[in-house]
Amino acid sequence: MLTPMRSARFWIVLAILFAANLLITQFLTSAGQPPTVTISYNAFLDQVDANNVVSVTSTAEAINGLTKAPVADQSSGIKSTKFQTQRPAFATDDLETLLRQHNVVMNAKDPNAATPLWVTLLLSFGPAILLVLGFLYLSRRAASAGAGGILGSFGQSRARLYNAERPAVTFDDVAGIDEVKADLQEVVDFLREPQKYQRLGGTMPKGVLLIGAPGTGKTLLARAVAGEAKVPFFSIAASEFVEAIVGVGASRVRDLFAKAKAAAPSIIFIDELDAIGRSRSAVVRIGGNDEQEQTLNQILTEMDGFDSREGVIVLAATNRADVLDPALLRPGRFDRRVTVQAPDRRGRAAILRIHTRNVPLAPDVDLDQVAGQTPGMVGADLRSLVNEAALGAARKGESAVTTADFADAVERTLLGAERKIILSDLDRERIAYHESGHALLGLLVPGADPVKKVTIVPRGMALGVTLQSPVDDRFNYGEDYLRARMVGALGGRAAERLIYGVVTTGAENDLQQVTRIAHEMVVRWGMSPKVGPLNFSDGDGGMLQQRPYSEATAQLIDDEMRRIAEECQVQAEKLLEEHRPQLDALAKALLRNDSLDEQEILKVTGIKQPPAEPIAAPVLTR
């Protein structure tokens, strides 16, 4: 263990010694000597004429002297036999003759006297001596700690050790990902009863890699494993290994694994593994020595160097498994990979129950219904949603969180906060027709998501928003659904062209969605007859990865994307032109009320909502 620099008691005693030294040198040694007072030059001449001056010592124009009788300071009035004064440069009196006449002893000091040798030596070599002493001190500390060289304290691992006897998190605090908990339960059983597996010759995987999108609960799962197994849990972010000094990261890796082995059975958790585990072949390196590569090599070496029977298991988390170095994923290292998916509706309801355990809920709150309104949200999103609802209830002075508070929180999370900006009547009308185009096509296009709300109240970065929410979760998308998404996104632009004959900049976000979907249809999902059933996506994140197709294929991809988008644009314009009365009615209702919910939209348009195909996430068109 690294010894501390010094205790607080040491520094307190040292400060007392310095203070005592100051008292002795400044006060005790000068206690028997009279103080030096300052007098004017006129007063000095008067004292000479009165034969009261015994001796003087001059340094350039400054004069110090001693008198027979005490003289008073010109400002404070203190009296002393020692005085000082300054002779004016313009004085023309013959001071030497005057002093000789009154038998005053005269002394002088050289104003340009040479600096003492000891002062010169101290200024010249003092900083270097201090630097050498500091270097020797750090080296001794590092050597006593066994860390080797000047890197001592830098090479120590910064992993946080959680108390195994009082775990903060268990599997009871994790919900919505039951299949993942089942996979990790085997790790817990091995740490609790290793002999159960070892008696049959089985060994536990050395490394378990948790893969999932941000906020899905990877870190929470790792802490829950440690809490269930009741073993020491060393947690560190991968970025904490790397410093500017080459070699520090590898030293910290060695120290971390040494501590884990000493505390075995134990768990090492490395968060955001991709910070140091990126593929070495995909990174441009300058020179032959790289800190990130050294740290990665040390992790690979350490995982090869210990036996899983020692009771040390390495957990790691990442949301970029595609960029990890293949050496990390081979058998014997992170050979077990657990994917943490976003929760389904039932899982979201379970997560909401966990996050609302300490939140007073009104009787009208149905968490299953709230879960149905939040498809695509992960655990972190749901925790933020509950917090937003609680803050809203507190602002209103309520004693419990109501359904209305959750509805406001969902809108605030999905649509953004309301903005108080003043729009002209023409702008409000354009926005109303734009959002009405989105909403109307959401009702007309088969398979489109149900339209839950449309508003022309500015929220977030948008001047108006149409919210389409799915009926249930789904993880597979048909080409008809993707085209319905594109037609709905182009509805605002089509409505503007139909009513005003021109388009505005308000469709920027819509066009981004259309471009992204069209690109994925052609490049990833093989939904273009001309391009064929091929996948041209670059999924490994390589910086120097070349396109796996020719320039002619690239031009074909561009042409197919444009064709799909233009077909959807034609369909959107045709549907809106055929249902112009409903478009006008919906826009006028929006201008009157600013916002319309699902039932109000159906009532205004007179269109019955067909059964919607379930999908995975809400759609926002602006």
CB 478, CB 517: distance < 8 Å: no
Question: DSSP for 371-395?
Answer: HHT-TT--HHHHHHHHHHHHHHHHH
Determine the residue type at 525: W
From CA 71, how far away is CA 59, in angstroms rounded? Answer: 21
Q: What is the token pair recorded at 308? A: 């899983």
d(CA 8, CA 88): 54
- Specify which residues 621 forms β-bridges with: 466
- Please, what's the b/e burial string for 259-268 (b: 16 or more CB within 10 A of its CB; e: otherwise)? bbbebbbbbb
Of the candidates 435, 496, 560, 613, the residue annotated as catalytic is 435
DSSP character at residue 33: S
Helical spans, DSSP H, in 24-160: 41-49, 95-101, 117-145
Measured CA to CA, the distance from residue 600 to residue 615 in angstroms comes to 24
Rounded Cα distance between 208 and 495, Å, is 52
The DSSP bridge partners found for residue 268 are: 234, 314
Residue 330: count other Cβ atoms within 10 Å of its Cβ: 11
CA R_g for the chain: 40
61 is catalytic: no
Output the six-digit token pair for 595. Answer: 């916002």
Q: Which two tokens stand for residue 360?
A: 């007073």
Long-range pairs, 358-362, Cβ under 8 A, ≥24: 359/386, 359/389, 359/390, 359/401, 360/399, 360/400, 360/401, 361/400, 361/401, 362/398, 362/400, 362/401, 362/402, 362/403
Residues 6+ apart with CB under 8 A from 553: 531, 536
Reduced to 3 states (helix: H, G, I; strand: E, B; else coil), residue 587 is helix
> ∠123-125-130 over CA atoms, to 5°?
100
Q: What residues have CB less than 8 Å from 306, skipping those under 6 apart?
A: 206, 257, 261, 312
Q: How many helices (H) and strands (E) does the chain have?
A: 22, 15
- Strand arrangement, sheet containing 595-597: 595-597, 451-455, 465-468, 619-621
CB 78 within 8 A of CB 36: no
Whether the upstream peptide bond of residue 265 has omega within 30° of 0, thus cis, is yes
The closest alpha carbon to 166, from 230, 240, 121, belongs to 230
Residue 586 CA to residue 590 CA, distance in Å, equals 6
CA-to-CA distance for 170 and 238, rounded, in angstroms?
24
- The token duo for 392 is 């809203």
CA distance 373 to 472: 9
Q: Give the SS3 label for residue 153.
A: coil
Indicate which residues carry an active-site annotation. Answer: 435
